[in-house]
Amino acid sequence: MRNLCFLFLFMLVPFAAISADTEKEIKAGIKHVTVYPDRAQLTHETGVDIPAGKSLLKLTGLSPYIDARSIQVKGSGNFTILSVNHQNNYLQNLEDLPEIKNIRSQIESLQRKVEDEKAAITVLKEKEAFLVANRAILVKETTFSIEQLKGVMELYTNNMDQVTMAVLKKNRLIKDYEEQIAALQKQISERAGKQQLPSGEISVSVSADKPLSGKMTFAYVVSNAGWYPSYDVRVDDIVSPVNIFYKANLFQNTGIQWKDVKLSFSNANPWIAGDVPALNPWYIDYLIPLPEPRVVAYGSQKRRDAPAMADMAVNELKVEEALEAAPVAVQKQVGETAITFDVAVPYTIDSDGKIQTIEIQRSAMPAEYKYVTIPKLSPLAYLTGNITNWAEMSLQSGEATLYFENTFVGKSTLNVNQLSDTLTLSLGTDNSILVKREKRKDFTSRKILGANKTETYSFLITIRNNKTSPVRITLQDQLPVSANSGITVEALELSGGRYNSQTGRVIWDYDLKPQETKQTILTYSVRYPKDKTIILE
C-alpha cells in the first residue's frame, strides 16, 4: 500500500510541473500602427509554441492606455482561442502620480470638447447650406415688395452672420483646446517616466489537442497618440501648377516605443457612434416670458435662484529649390467612409509626445491664378489659385505654409469645408502689383435741394502691373445699400463694373499687360431728407 501511494505521488510531480508550464509569457513586437486623429491602433504579430491541452498565453510590456473594448486576437494554427482578458500590472511598476492622473483627466475632457465643437460645426454648415439654397429659391420664385425683400434679406444676412461667427468662434475654441492638449501632453512627457506607469497585459486562453507551433496577431486601440495635417503650398510662377505637400504631424505618448513599425494615417473616427440620429417631434407653443430672477441675499453674498439658460449654438457662434530627393513611398487607400495613407518605410517613434512630421502625399495641380484687390480695405493685391477637382486629393483642413517664386510668403489655412467644386488657395500678397484709391475732390459734393440733401462721392482707383508677365486681377469696391425707403443710392459712374444692388458690391475683372496701368472711376450719390444725418465716411 505504501509503495502504491509513493507511486501515485511520484506521478503527480510531473503532472504538476506540466500544469505550471501551461501559463506562458510571450513577447510580440509591434508590426503596424494605424494612427487616427486622436488615438492609434497597434498590431502585434508573433509565433508561439502551444502545448497540448489548455494553456494561458500572456502578452506583456504593453501600453497602459489600451481600450479593452477594442482588443482583437487572431490565431493561425490548429488550436482554439477560448477567452481573451486585459489588465494593467501594477506590481512591477509604480502607479501614476495623482498629478499625472489629473492631467490625463484634463486631456480627456478637452478631447471631448473638441469632438463636441466639431459636431456643432457640422450642424452649422448644414444650416448655412440650407440658408444659401433657400435664398436662391425665394429670390427667384417669389415676388416681393421692396419692404418684404428688405426683410427677407435682413433675415438672411442676420442668420448668415450668426452662423459664420459661430463657426469662427468654434474653430478658435478647437484651436485653443488642441493647444491646451499639446501643453498637457508635454507635461506628462516631462513628469511621468516609463517606470511610473503600469504595464498592460493581454491574456489569451487557448486549447490544443497536441503540441504545435502557431501564429498569433493582437490588435488594440490606445489613447495619448494621434496626428493632424499640415501643408507646404509651393508656386513657382503663375503659369505653373500648384504643388501641395501633404504632411502628417504625428505624436505619441503611450508609454512604449514604436520601434521599426509600418505606419498608416487614417482620417476615420471609428469610435464615434455610427447610429443614425432620431428626428424627434418639434413642438411649438406661445412664448411665455420667464419671470425676472429673484435675488436672495445671504450676508455679503447674493445668488440667483432662477435656472440658468444655455446659449443657442447659433449665437456663440527664403526657400530651397524644388526637392530632388523622392519622398517616402506612400500608398493611399480610399474606402467608403475613410481614407488611409500607408507609409512603406518603417519608422521608430519614441513615447515622448514630440511631433514628428512625415510627408504622405505630393500633388501638382493645375490652377487658375488670379489677383484680388479691395483697395477700400487694403492697398495690396492678393494672389489666389483656384483648383478644380480638388476632392480627388483627399485633403483635410489644416495650416498651410506658403511659398511663391522660391520665397516664403506667410501662412494660411487650407479650408476644404467648402460647398464648391473649386478650391481657392490664398497665396499671399504681391508687391509687384501697385494699387491706389483716392478721392476725386472736384467730383465730390454736398447739395441741398428742397427737402432733400444729396451727397456725391467719386474715387479714382489705379492699378499698375510692374511684373514682367501679364496678370488677371479682380477689383472689388462697394456702394452703400439703403436700409430705408427715404434713402436713395444711385450709381453714377462704374467704369463698366458689375453692380449688385442688393449687396452694393461692384466687381471689375481686368487683364493687365506687363507695365500696364489701369484706372477705374467709381462715382455714386446718396439722397436723403435734409433733417436727417447719415455717416458716409
Residue with cell 448655412: 128
- pLDDT for 315: 41
Cβ atoms within 10 A of the Cβ of 367, count?
23
Interacting residues of 163 by C-beta distance below 8 A, sequence separation 6+: 124, 127, 128, 131, 314, 317
Bridge-based pairing of strands 199-208 and 53-62 is antiparallel
State phi, psi for 193 to the nearest 5 degrees. Answer: -80, 170
User: E strands within 390-487?
Assistant: 398-404, 407-414, 422-429, 433-439, 445-449, 452-465, 471-478
Burial 390-419 (b: 16+ CB within 10 A, else e): beeebbbebebbbbbeeeebeebebeeeee
- pLDDT for 221: 95
- pLDDT for 447: 92
Cα–Cα distance between 430 and 414 in angstroms, integer?
Answer: 19
- pLDDT for 348: 93
Task: Check if the beta carbon of residue 387 is closer than 8 Å to that of residue 367.
Answer: yes
Which residues does residue 349 pair with via DSSP β-bridges, in sequence order?
A: 258
User: E strands within 80-178?
Assistant: 80-89
Cα–Cα distance between 267 and 396 in angstroms, integer?
Answer: 8
Indicate the helix (H) or strand (E) that contains 259.
Answer: strand 258-266
pTM listed for this prediction = 0.60
Task: Check if the beta carbon of residue 235 is closer than 8 Å to that of residue 82.
Answer: no
Cα–Cα distance between 362 and 359 in angstroms, integer?
Answer: 8
- pLDDT for 316: 38
User: In this structure, what DSSP letter does residue 166 have?
Assistant: H
Residue with cell 494593467: 88
User: Side chain identity at 336, as an amino acid letter?
Assistant: E
Task: Check if the beta carbon of residue 365 is closer than 8 Å to that of residue 390.
Answer: yes
| Mutual angle of helices 98-141 and 146-191, in 10-degree steps | 160
- pLDDT for 2: 43
Cell of 180: 491646451
3-class SS letters over 342-371 = EECCCEEECCCCCCEEEEEEEEEECCEEEE
Q: 3-class DSSP state for residue 95?
A: coil
Angle at 454 (CA atoms; ends 449, 455), nearest 5 degrees: 145
Starting at the edge strand that comes first in sequence, how are the strands of the sheet with 242-252 ordered?
356-365, 242-252, 225-235, 398-404, 407-414
Q: How far apart, in Å, are the Cα atoms of 489 and each of 212, 451, 481, 532?
A: 91, 16, 7, 15
Length of the chain: 537
Cα–Cα distance between 454 and 527 in angstroms, integer?
Answer: 4
Residue with cell 473616427: 269
Q: State in words which class domain 434-529 has.
A: mainly beta
Cell of 536: 458716409
User: On the CB side of 314, how many CA atoms lie within 13 Å of its CA?
Assistant: 12
Cα–Cα distance between 110 and 226 in angstroms, integer?
Answer: 14
How many helices (DSSP H) and strands (DSSP E) are in the chain? 3, 30
Mean pLDDT by 10 residues, the chain (537 residues): 39 39 85 94 94 92 91 92 89 56 85 88 81 65 62 73 85 90 81 66 93 94 93 87 91 92 88 61 56 45 37 38 60 77 91 90 88 94 85 80 84 74 80 94 90 94 94 94 90 94 93 96 93 83
Interacting residues of 534 by C-beta distance below 8 A, sequence separation 6+: 455, 487, 526, 528
Tens of pLDDT along 73-118? 999 999 999 999 999 887 655 345 566 778 888 888 898 888 888 8
Pick the CATH number of 22-95+196-222 from 1.10.3470, 1.20.1070, 1.10.287, 2.60.120: 2.60.120
Task: Check if the beta carbon of residue 50 is closer than 8 Å to that of residue 77.
Answer: yes
